[in-house]
Structure 1
Amino acid sequence: MLRAEARAMERVLAGIPALPWLCIGAEGADCPYSEAGRGLYLRRGGGGFEGALRCGLPWPLASETFGAVLLQHVLDDSLGDTAAVLDECMRILAPGGVLWLAALNPWSSYRTRWWRAGLSAHGPGYWQTALARAGFAADAVSLQWLGPRWHPEDAEAGVGAADRLRAAIALTVSKRVHAAIPPAALRKLRLRTGLGSARTHAGALRQGPGPKP
């Protein structure tokens, strides 16, 4: 499962060749390969996050800096900070940046391998709602099923009906940018100003000259 997810993460990173990225991985997962010095890798640990830095929430990272944030089973641990983590992802992502989220699939028969391990699994609808509450566009979420259906060596990916029994789901969504409201055209402002001046001048002519001393 982790190998299939690593390949999926590499495809995401290939689409952002210039910007830095943040990956928060599961226990036993390896950092996806990328250009040295461009990525930041963290894990859950000590009630917070540790790795390249040790911190809690909110993350000590600049806003709108990262081209991609990769969450590999970070929210399967039932710590109850899903909303806070997704809010931070929205904050640090640059406009047009990509959030990739991998989570356990509750419908997979592979769940017997992590049953009673203190992990939780939710369907795609749960994650789409959580992403929408964090400010991501729910209608722009793409969904993929990853990993084995039952045997570990069957670690592929897909979007077909049979793939819905794979061990994990991966949701990908971009941070949309709202277009700014353009200012009013200066030509209209000039016309209004000119019209007002003409009316003032016409009024002065109707009043005639003032009393002479």
Structure 2
Amino acid sequence: MARKVAEPDDLAAAAAAAAASGISRGRTTFPGWAKTSRIERVKLAGRWISPVQPTGKLRAVHLVPRSIFELVELQHLLAGEWNLARARAALVASGPGLSIDPLAVGQARAISSHPEWTRLHRHGNGLAGDLRCLPDSLPFENDSMQLIVARHIVDVLGPGSGIEAELARILAPGGMLFLFGLNPLSPWRFWLSRQVRHGLLLPDYSSSGRVRSALVGCKLSIVRREFLGGAWPGNSRDASLTDSGPAGAIWEGAWLLAARKQRVGMRPIPLRAGRRRVPVNSALAQSPSRRVSP
């Protein structure tokens, strides 16, 4: 009997069912599948799942994520960062918002204080989503965005992309920029380096100090820097990364820079010059007085 290769949709459905039922790795039995001695491991959605071959009919195929940000641990970090940005956005004046992500993500929970959002994500060497553009030429007016949430865009574009200058240009005076990046000093870096064996590309790590210098050079004021995500994937302090917890240590997985554009709204009016007193020249002839003496 000919052996038929399982379709990716079938494997995805089976893997989802296994993950939902909490089946452990290594000894997995999907409903209706016969357990055999030969198990092929499939990397699906960033986590190793071990489906079994139904005898004589199907065999598993090897699926890998397209980006490290599709790994479950990185998805958990992205979700926590968005929750943290939602909590901090309550302190920012309402207005248009912009979010830039390292990959196309599902519809995230909206930020009620900023209903007007433009969503972009990295696509090749540029950005896609609600519109297509290049990182160094965002199609927005100067001072047009009240809130910007950029998650790990510096990790996928690398230094020299010009994204920092563009974010500073479109940020409105009094607005807030939340910029997230992977921490090159964290043990996360060693864990991510192991993913290269599975065909994934490592990010272009940018330290918070380098990005901070770039933002300061663009006339932005850094109001907060903190580290979050835990020292090892899956060991974060809080799944939601809310504002109630501590700022985190320097070896945690990700960093956050909160920057604000401060600009003087009114120019001081210069003082009017006082009236100058000119001395009378004694050489000038004076006209006689017409006053009648008594």
Superposition TM-score, scaled by structure 2 size: 0.59
Do structure 1's residue 145 and structure 2's residue 227 form an aligned pair? yes
Counterpart of 1:65 (choices 124, 135, 144) is: 144
> CA separation in 1, counterparts of 2:109 and 2:98?
11
2:82 is aligned to 6
SS of 1:44's partner is strand
Q: CA deviation at 1:19?
A: 0.9
Matched ranges for 1:128-139 at <5 A? 128-137=212-221
Which structure has the highest helix share of the two? Answer: 1
CA contact (8 A) 1:22 1:68 kept: yes
Identity %: 23
Alpha-carbon distance between aligned partners in 2 of 1:143 and 1:29, rounded to the nearest angstrom? 25
Per-residue Cα deviation, 1:139-181 (whole angstroms, up to 9, x for no partner): x341111213224252535324xx3222111111111114655
1:154 aligns with 236
SS across alignment from 1:77 = helix
Distance 2:284 2:164 in 1: 68
Where does residue 111 of structure 2 map in the other structure?
34
Give the CA deviation at 1:23: 0.7
Higher relative contact order (CA 8 A, sep 6+): 1
Cα–Cα, structure 1 residues 9 and 29, in superposed 2: closer, same or farther, change >3 Å? farther
Residue by residue over 1:53-101, the C-alpha shift from the partner in whole angstroms, topping out at 9 and shown as x without a partner, is 111131110111111111100010254334x211111111111111111
Distance 2:80 2:237 in 1: 6
* Large movers: runs of 4+ above 6 Å: none
SS at match of 2:79: helix
Structure 1 spans left out of the alignment, 5+ residues: none
C-alpha contact (below 8 Å) 1:25/1:44 kept by paired residues: yes
1:32 is displaced (CA, Å) by: 4.8
Q: Deviations over 1:16-36 (max 9, x none)?
A: 352111110122645452248
Task: Work out whether residues 92 and 147 of structure 2, in 8 Å CA contact, stay in contact via their aligned partners in 1.
Answer: yes
| Total equivalences in the alignment | 196
Q: Is the 8 A contact 2:168 2:215 kept in 1?
A: no
Contact 1:22 1:39 in 2 (8 A): yes
2:207 is aligned to 123
1-structure distance, mates of 2:102, 2:129: 12
1-side partners of 2:190 and 2:168: how far apart? Answer: 33
Distance 2:158 2:203 in 1: 10
What amino acid is the match of 1:59? Answer: L
Question: Which of structures 1 and 2 has the bigger CA Rg?
Answer: 2
TM-score by length of 1: 0.79
2:96–2:144 CA contact under 8 A, matched in 1: yes
1:165 equivalent in structure 2: 251
Call closer, same or farther: CA 1:19–1:78 in 2, change over 3 Å.
Answer: closer
Structure 2 vs 1, CA of residues 120 and 4 (structure 1 numbering), >3 Å: closer, same or farther?
same
Residue aligned with 2:204, SS: coil
Cα RMSD, aligned residues only: 2.5
